Amino acid sequence: MNKKDLILRTPLIIRFCHWVMVCLFILTAFSGLSLFFPSLSIFGLFLGTPQLVRALHPILGCIVFVILIFMGIRLAHHNIPNKDDLLWIKNMKQVIAGQEGGIPIGKYNVGQKFLFWSIMSLITVLFITGLVMWRHYFSDYFPIPVVRIAIFLHSLAAIALILLAIGHAYMAMWVTGSIKGMITGYVSRAWARKNHSKWYQSEMEKVFQNEELKSETAPKTESK
What residues act catalytically? Answer: 168
3-state secondary structure of 188: strand
Work out the number of other CB atoms within 10 angstroms of the CB of residue 88: 19
Helices marked H in the chain — which ranges?
A: 12-36, 50-75, 84-90, 92-96, 110-132, 144-174, 178-184, 189-195, 197-217
CA-based radius of gyration for the chain: 22
Residues 51, 54, 57: CA angle, nearest 5 degrees: 140
Residue 139 CA to residue 124 CA, distance in Å, equals 18
HSE-CB for 159 with a 13 A CA cutoff: 7
3-state secondary structure of 186: strand
CA dist 213 to 203, 207, 216, Å?
15, 10, 5
Q: Residues 6 or more apart from 82 whose CB is under 8 A from it?
A: 106
Alpha carbon 47 to chain centroid, angstroms: 24
